[in-house]
Amino acid sequence: MTTDAQRQEWADPGGLTVGRTAALVGVSVKTLHHWDAIGLVCPSGRTWSGYRVYSDDDVARIHRVLVYRELGFPLAEIGRILDDPEADARDHLRRQRSQLVERISRLQQMLGAVDRMIGASSTGIRLTPQQQVEIFGDDWQPGWAEEAEARWGDTAQWAQYAERAAALTPEDWKEVAASVEALNADLAAAARAGVAPGSGEANALAERHRASIARYFDCTHAMHVCLGRKYTGDPGFTAFYDALTPGLAVWLRDVIFANAEAHGVHPESATWE
């Protein structure tokens, strides 16, 4: 004896039942029933026994709904878009394609950052806290690295840092520490000598400072300005630089600002980019 459920699965050649349509497009029967109830996608055909079935056009509409839903459109807005009598099908497809390309680009960027983090954590060389103190000096606090990761760990710049830092050996780090120490000594000496921000000597020092940061991540002049603000706005940074020579934090900020302005970046409006 044929059951109602069996009869429902049998469709005329011109349509598919809700169960077969759901399997074809990859959604649940419950979802299709909901879309039918709100008028988003309604089956337009009937089986010989009176069950409603989805035509080829209905299935095509479901696929368009799925694309827009994947792009984050609310169902009500999707219905308005698809039912717009002035809309052209090709225009819809072009719009969908453009939005998909943008999303793919964002996802690829995220994937690249994740891959770099995986590579850095699985194959990179990490310094132990003892090695950090040995290389950077007794004033170095290993907790600073953890604090930095907590603050910036979800940024693209931290992903770059993790990738580049992982490739450095302890010997490389010693070289880095020596170059930073030399740079800080030159900055302090220039500040004590009254080197004016915006002068050729000051701009050269600013570029050396930016290059020292760019060893870890791509540092634009606008980013450099944002860091300069922190040197006077963050007590930890201010204390570090002023310990080298009084007033160094403010002087370094002004040097960075003047150098950035010489490169077409206005310090007042610069953003982290």
Check which CATH number belongs to the domain holding 52 and give it.
1.10.1660.10
Res 39 pLDDT > 90: yes
**150 part of a folded domain:** no
Please report, as a single letter, which amino acid is at residue 256: I
**244 part of a folded domain:** yes
Q: Which long-range contacts (CB under 8 A, 24 or more apart) does 5-11 make?
A: 7/47, 7/49, 7/51, 8/47, 8/49, 8/51, 10/47, 10/48, 10/49, 11/47, 11/51, 11/53
Domain boundary among 64, 87, 110: 87
What digits encode the pLDDT tens for the residues 86-103? Answer: 766 667 667 777 877 877
How many separate domains does the chain show?
2
In this prediction, residues 172-192 reach a mean pLDDT of: 88
For the chain, give the number of residues: 273
pLDDT at 31: 94
**134 part of a folded domain:** no
Mean pLDDT across the chain, nearest whole number? Answer: 79
**111 part of a folded domain:** no
**128 part of a folded domain:** no
pLDDT at 33: 94
Distance separating alpha carbons of residues 78 and 89, to the nearest angstrom: 14
What pairs with residue 54 in β-bridges? 16
What digits encode the pLDDT tens for the residues 254-268? Answer: 999 999 999 999 999
- Of the chain, the end-to-end C-alpha distance in Å amounts to 70
Domain boundary among 87, 109, 139: 87
Nearest 5°: phi and psi at 246? -55, 135
What digits encode the pLDDT tens for the residues 16-31? Answer: 889 999 999 999 999 9
**56 part of a folded domain:** yes
Domain boundary among 87, 106, 137: 87
What digits encode the pLDDT tens for the residues 133-169? Answer: 555 555 555 555 555 556 565 677 777 777 777 777 7
> Residue 218 is part of a domain; what is its CATH number?
1.10.490.50
Distance separating alpha carbons of residues 42 and 267, to the nearest angstrom: 57
What digits encode the pLDDT tens for the residues 196-231? Answer: 999 999 999 999 999 988 888 888 999 999 999 989
**61 part of a folded domain:** yes
User: Which segments within 5-144 are labelled E, that is strand?
Assistant: 45-46, 52-53
**231 part of a folded domain:** yes
Range of the domain at 223: 169-262
Distance separating alpha carbons of residues 233 and 96, to the nearest angstrom: 45
Closest CA to 163 of 227, 120, 199: 120
Note the pTM of the prediction, 2 decimals: 0.49
Closest CA to 262 of 215, 216, 199: 199
